Structure formats: C-alpha cells, structure tokens
A and B are shown apart, each in its own frame.
Chain A
Amino acid sequence: MATMRLSTPLRKYSGGKPEVTVEGETLLEVLEKFDSKHPGFAEKIIENGEIKRFVNVFVNNIDVRTKDGLNTKIEENDTISILPAVSGG
C-alpha cells in the first residue's frame, strides 16, 4: 500500500481527507483504481494520456516527469503527492 496526499482542491474525492492509502503497480494504475471508487478524479489530473500542465505529481517528493510519468512504478510505502497550481493570497 502506498500513501497518496491530496492537495486541497482535490479533497472532495477523498471525503475531505488530506491523505489516503492506495494500491497499484504504476502511477496510472493507482489513479485509475482510485477513480473507480471516486469517479471524476482521474480526469482532473490526466488529459490525453498525460499529466495536465497545471498539475504536478511527485513520488517520494520527486516530480514524476523526471521519472517515467504515468508509468512510474509505485512501490510499497511510497508517498504520492498531487499538486495542482493554487493562487490564493
């Protein structure tokens, strides 16, 4: 099981929880599995098979764009952080 930390704008998909436990071999699989229980989640992050340009996904604090993107392998105890841009001040 890995942990997925959700930024505030995405917490409506986790019942308000800042972090959830997730399963899957790759990042894409994790996002799809979570989406199957919380429909609409994946489309906030993925567009045309890629991570949207105003969202960043980090695995163990490393940007997955510098790894294998959506195909990044997810290991037991990994922490996934999903970060859309925010602008409040």
Chain B
Amino acid sequence: MTLSLDEIKRYSRQLVLPDFGSRQQARLKNAKVMVTGAGGLGCPISVYLTLSGVGRIDIVDMDEVDLTNLNRQFLYGPDDVGKPKVKIAARRLTEINPEIEVNPIVEKITYDNAFDLIKGYDAVVDGTDNFPVRYAVNDACAVNRTPLFHGAVLMYEGRAMSIIPKETACFRCVFPDAPPAGMVPTCREAGVVGSMTGIIGSIQALEAVRYLAGLDIGLKDRILILNTDTMTFDKVNVKRREDCSACGDVFIKKPVDEVCEVRSQ
C-alpha cells in the first residue's frame, strides 16, 4: 500500500524518525485495531492511533456521555451528554484524520461475546474500566492470539503492559483471579484526574503503534508502574505461567462475576 502526497506530508514528522519510514507508515495504514472502551483511557488511545495513521480503528463502548466524564474524556463536550460515546468519538476522530476509517460499535463487551467481537484485529488496546470486561478482553485476545496493550489507572497511580499472546505474560498470568468486590475501588469511588488517563492511554497507544510499525516495544513481560505522588516510573518483571487458564496449554473459561462490576463513569 503506497502513501499519497497528503499522507506523506501529514505524517512527515514521524517519517523523518531514524527507524520510521514509509514502510512503517504503510504497516500502520494496513493495520486494523480495536479500542475497547471510549472513556478516560479510550480517548487518548484512539486520538493517538488516529493521529499516527492506523488505517482502521473500531471503538467499542455501550455508554453515553455523562457530565462526570468531562474532567478527562476530552473527545466530548457538554453538548454530547446523553449521546453514545463511540458515535461522537468516531465522528471527531474522522474529522481529525479523514485518511483513516473509524467505526463505532455500540455494544457491551461480555465474556460471551468477546471471543467473536475481538477477532481479526492486528491489535487490541484496552481502555475498559472494570474487571469482568478486562478479563473477557484478555482471554479473548489470548485465544485469538491478538496482541493486547493493557493500561489501568486508579487515583494517582497508573499501569501499562504489552501482551503478545503465547510469547509474553498476559493479564491473567499476572493476576489469575480478579479481586473480590470492594477490595479495589473504581475510579468512580476513588477518583482520577484527566492527565493520569492521558499519560497511561498515550503509553498504550505508543506501544501499539511501535508494535504495528514493526519496531521493538519495551513493555513485554513488564508492568510499568507510574506513581505520580512521587512522580516515579518503575518497571517490574513478570513471567508467563504455563498453567495460565487464558494463554497456557489448556484454555479454561473463567468469566469474572459481574457482581463485582461497578462502572466508573
């Protein structure tokens, strides 16, 4: 796939990078990526994938814009309250970069539909906000062997890791089970500021873009932990579990009980 003159100009600031050229840009143009969630993480993720020139982006979320979203979800404004997030997001992203295709999918991801929904993508970037959906996305990516770029935030702490199924540790290798309800608060309960989701979502998008372009990525078998109380970035090493129920030798369905789901608006 060749690049048009407009595309060469649009992407010129990344095309001049020493390890990035028209071949890498064409790889991005050919890529099909799913963004799960159009919230605090989903906004920076989808914006940076759009700006980088990922050819097709499908965004899944069933929520409507709420006034409480507007401290961090910068694709929306007060006039969008009550409207489906993914439709507003897709329209805005297409305005930002008309060279790419953005598809809104108004759907709730569940353990039952995730395996079909997340099929045929070159990568998934996860911006969901609760354990049942996160484990569904992880397990579906493990079974379908789709690279998954994970990120999560809570208050002033953020995390990111990149998962290449069967090659690197998946979310379930690291956390085989979800915490019981009430153990870990959600953003709605504990709070989050916009720049936190902005930083972590941007890191997820960057890892995905580098991976899709064929460049090395730094968060395989590692969790990046951002602690903004002390403004430290730590990386801890994690390992695949041979007996992982998602990416191990034998796949075992392990849906996480919806009871522990508390939506972070």
Contact = CB atoms under 8 A, between A and B. Distances in A.
Interface of A: 5, 7-9, 18-19, 44, 53-54, 56, 58, 61-63, 66, 81, 83-89
Given A9-B184, A9-B185, A84-B183, A89 B238 contact: no
A56 B241 CA distance: 13
Given A5-B227, A53-B175, A86 B159 contact: yes
A8 B155 contact: yes
Contacts of B178: 54, 85, 87
Nearest to B264: A88
Contact of A63 (B41, B156, B237): B237
6 contacts: A18-B229, A56-B175, A85-B174, A85-B179, A85-B184, A89-B264
A19 B134 CA distance: 28
B230 to A, nearest CB: 6
Contacts of A8: 154-157, 190
Interface residues of B, number: 46
Contacts of A19: 230
Contacts of A88: 40, 129, 152-154, 186-187, 190, 192, 264
Nearest to B171: A85
Find the residue from A66, A84, A86, A87 having the highest chain B CB count within 10 A: A87
A87 B132 CA distance: 9
B238 A56 contact: yes
B149 interface: no
Interface in B41-99: 41-42
A89 B152 contact: yes
B152 A83 contact: no
Given A8-B156, A8-B190, A83 B236 contact: yes
A89 B197 CA distance: 7
Q: Which 9 A-B pairs have the closest CB atoms?
A: A89-B129, A88-B187, A85-B175, A53-B177, A89-B41, A54-B179, A86-B154, A8-B157, A58-B236
Contacts of A7: 157, 225
A83 B223 contact: yes
Given A87-B134, A89-B127, A56 B37 contact: no
B43 to A, nearest CB: 10
A9 B183 contact: yes
A87 B236 contact: no
Given A19-B230, A86-B184, A88-B187, A61 B237 contact: yes
Given A54-B183, A87-B130, 16 more contacts: A5-B227, A5-B234, A8-B190, A9-B154, A9-B183, A9-B184, A44-B183, A54-B177, A62-B236, A62-B237, A63-B239, A66-B239, A84-B179, A86-B154, A86-B157, A89-B264
A84 B184 contact: yes
A18 B229 CA distance: 7
